[in-house]
Amino acid sequence: MDTTEIVIVTATFFLAGIVKGVTGMGLPTVAMGVLGALISPLSAAALLLVPSFVTNLWQLLAGPDFRAVLRRFWPMMAMLVIGTVLGAGLLAGGDTARSTMVLGLTLAAYAVYSLCAGARHVPPSWQPVASPLVGLASGIVTGATGVFVIPAVPYLQSLGLGKDALVQALGLSFTVSTIALGLALGLHGALPAESLLPSLLAVAPALAGMGTGQAIRRHIHPATFRRCFLACLLLLGCEMALRPFL
């Protein structure tokens, strides 16, 4: 990587860390959105693996009851891994234009849904069937785009979990997604060895950004920050989705 690329990667992960520090999520989404607009989505996904794993594992283990969350959501996590392996063919296939368009559509769809959708609640009786299906769908989206949020995040938010339990469940989903994405890209022979060092180096700005975001959270309402973040994400996603036609 040359100096310009190092500066871009460092700034991207610092920004992504700020978003995660303020909202509790969003590091892979921001990293894929910004880097995916500058380099291939495959290269961006390879760069986010280590910082995403470190920050999400921290979030997972800091929660109140890891075993209870794992016991409740292991079917969803198992299907998430399977879906990621199935979906990774698009990201690993080398068709940059198509994968960029799919990534852009995914980011835009997530932003629109999050900005417009009201509160949802999934009845407990549906959850034994819904959790594996959501896990499979989330895995396919993760494998195809490197973005972990759809539909796992809206689903987990609809279960009526307490604040700490929700943050820990999101940490579990994001951690498993990161591991599954790394394994899937490796199985497809699309995990470049030269991305390991830059990915390791990206941990420091990501953690620094998280600390900064946690400080910002004391001075700005998270909902206001989240709306601004989603609006920017919508614009970025639309630009990426339309890029092959411009």
CB-based contact 13:51 (threshold 8 Å): yes
Q: Which helix (H) or strand (E) holds 37?
A: none
Q: Going by C-beta distance under 8 Å and a sequence separation of 6 or more, which residues neighbour residue 164?
A: 63, 64
Q: Write down the pLDDT at residue 193.
A: 73
* Residue 136, Cβ density class (10 Å: 0-12 exposed, 13-18 middle, ≥19 buried): buried
pTM: 0.83
pLDDT for the residue 203: 93
What single-letter amino acid sits at 37?
A: A
Q: Give me the pLDDT at residue 191, please.
A: 79
Sequential pLDDT tens for the chain (246 residues): 678 888 989 999 999 888 888 777 778 888 888 887 788 788 888 898 999 999 888 888 877 788 899 999 999 999 999 999 998 887 777 666 777 788 888 888 888 888 887 667 888 889 999 999 999 999 998 988 888 888 898 899 888 888 778 888 988 999 999 999 999 988 888 777 777 888 999 999 999 998 898 888 778 776 787 788 788 788 888 887 887 776
pLDDT at 60: 85
Cis, bond preceding 151 (omega within 30 deg of 0): yes
Domain ranges (residues) in the chain = 3-245
Rounded to 10 degrees, the C-alpha dihedral 92/96/17/118 comes to -100
**pLDDT in the model for residue 118:** 67
